[in-house]
Amino acid sequence: MEKKRKLSLPAQIFIGMFAGIVLGYFLIGHGDFTTTWIKPIGTIYINLLKFLVVPVVLFSICDGVISLKDLKRVGSVGLKTFVYYMFTTALAVVIGLVLANAFSGFFAPLPSAELGALEYEAKTSPSIMQVIVNIFPDNLFKPMVNADMLPVIVISILFGAGILAAGEKGEKIGELVNCMQEVVMNVMMMIIKITPIGVFCLMTDVVAVNGASVIGRLALVIGVAYMGYILHVVIVYGLSVKFLAGMSPIAFFKVLAPAMICAFTTTSSNATLPLNIECCNKMGAEPEISSFVLPLGATINMDGTAIYQAVATIFIACCYSIDLTLADMAMVVLTATLASVGTAGVSGAGMIMLAMVLTTIGIPVEGIAIIAGVDKIFDMGRTCLNITGDATCALFISRLEKNKKAAASKAA
C-alpha cells in the first residue's frame, strides 16, 4: 500500500495564505477579533524570525570565512571571488531600488488608522560618518542584544579570520562554529516549517483589518521583483559572461538550464550545488575553481535575495507611508549587500535577512506579514538568479586563472 504523499512546504504556505485571505475576507469589519485572537499566533512566528536573525548571521558568515581554510593559498582566488560577488550584489540592490522607486507610486499605503500599534514614528537619520563608525562595535554582546546587524557582521568576519590565523588551536573552534551553524540551520528549518500557520494567521488579520484591496498590491510587487530578476540576468550576467568569461550568453544559459530549473523548483542554492558544478565544468570551468567558487557563492552570493530585499523594503515602507531618504537608500544598499553574505542557501532564508534590512533602517519588521504569503513565489526566482550568478563567477575566475597560468608558462 503506497504511502500518501505529503504536501510540499510551498503548497502548504499557499494554502495557508489563501485560507487566511478567505477567512479574513469574511471577517472584514471584525478586525478587533482577529487582532486579539488570531494575529498573536502570527506575531509569535514574527518573533521567531527576529530571534533567528543574529545567530544566522553570526555563524553563517563566520563559517563562510573559515571555509576559505588557508587564506595564503586561496587568498588571490578568494579575494577576486568576494569582490565579484559583492559588486554584482550591490548592482542587484541598485536595480531593485530603481525599479521599486519607479513603481512606488502604485504601492498605496495602508490606512494609518488601521495599522494601530504598528504605526511608525520617523527617526532622524545619522550622518554617513556616524553610520561608518557605528559599523565597528565597541562591545562584543551589545550589537547582538540590540540586533544591530552591521556590527554583528563585522564581528563574524573578524572571528572567522582570527580562527584561521590561530592555526591548529583555532581548528577546534572552527569545528564548533560549523556545528553551531548546522544547529542554527536546523532551528531555521523548524521555524520555516511553521510558516503556513504564521502566514495564515497574519494574512487573516491583514485582510480583515485592511480589506481585500491589500491583495491586489501583492501581484504588483511580485511583478516588480521578477522584472528586476530578468534585468539583472540580461544586463549584469549577460555582459559578464560575454566580456569577462569570454563565451556566448546563449550557450551559457543553454548549458546552465538544468541547474536553473533545479534551483527554481527546489528554491535551494545548496540543493542545486552539485548540478551547478557539473554544468560549469561542462562549460570549461576548472574543477578546482568551480568546487571552490560555487560552494562559496551558495553561502555569500545572493543577488536575487538582494533584489527581493530592495523591492520588499520599498513596498513595506510605502505600506507604512514611510519616505526613505537618500541616506536610507544607501543603508539599504550597504545592508542588503552585506546581509546577502549571511543568507543561507536554503529555502525561505530570504525573509530572515529581510528582517535584518528592515530593522537597520527602522521599518517595522511586522510588515513582512504583508508579503510572507507569497514569499515562495519570490524565492523561486531569486534562487534561480543566485545560482546563475555563482556560475558566471566560476567561469570568470577560471578564465583569469587560465590566463595567469598561460602567462607564467610563457615567462618560463
Question: Strand, helix or coil at 296?
Answer: helix
Asked if residue 210 is part of any domain, the answer here is yes
Question: What pLDDT was estimated at residue 393?
Answer: 95
Q: With beta carbons less than 8 A apart as the criterion, state whether 69 and 295 touch.
A: no
Res 145 pLDDT > 60? yes
pLDDT in tens, 347-379: 455 666 777 788 778 888 777 777 776 776 788
Asked if residue 4 is part of any domain, the answer here is no
Length of the chain: 412
Alpha helices (H) along 232-302: 238-239, 249-266, 269-282, 287-300
Give the domain extent around 202.
9-119+126-411
Number of other residues whose CB lies within 10 A of the CB of residue 211 = 17
User: Domain containing 287 — which CATH number?
Assistant: 1.10.3860
pLDDT-above-90 percentage for the chain: 16
Q: With beta carbons less than 8 A apart as the criterion, state whether 46 and 369 touch.
A: yes
pLDDT in tens, 163-196: 888 888 888 898 898 899 888 878 877 877 787 8
pLDDT in tens, 190-214: 877 787 888 788 778 877 876 655 5
Asked if residue 266 is part of any domain, the answer here is yes
CA 174 to chain centre: 24
Asked if residue 113 is part of any domain, the answer here is yes
pLDDT in tens, 256-280: 988 888 788 677 776 677 788 888 9
Measuring CA to CA, how many Å separate 337 from each of 133, 255, 308?
A: 18, 28, 12
Asked if residue 211 is part of any domain, the answer here is yes
Please give the Cα distance from 108 to 47 (Å, whole number).
26
Asked if residue 64 is part of any domain, the answer here is yes
Res 328 pLDDT > 70? yes
Asked if residue 1 is part of any domain, the answer here is no
Question: What pLDDT was estimated at residue 113?
Answer: 46
Please give the Cα distance from 295 to 12 (Å, whole number).
29
Q: With beta carbons less than 8 A apart as the criterion, state whether 59 and 159 touch.
A: no
Question: What is the domain count for the chain?
Answer: 1
Q: With beta carbons less than 8 A apart as the criterion, state whether 154 and 173 touch.
A: no
pLDDT in tens, 9-59: 667 777 887 888 889 888 888 888 988 898 898 888 778 877 877 787 788
Asked if residue 279 is part of any domain, the answer here is yes
Q: For cell 513582512, what's the residue? A: 368
Please give the Cα distance from 152 to 342 (Å, whole number).
10
pTM to 2 decimal places:
0.67
182 against 227, higher pLDDT: 227
CA 308 to chain centre: 7
Q: What angle do CA 116, 121, 122 make, to 5 degrees?
A: 150
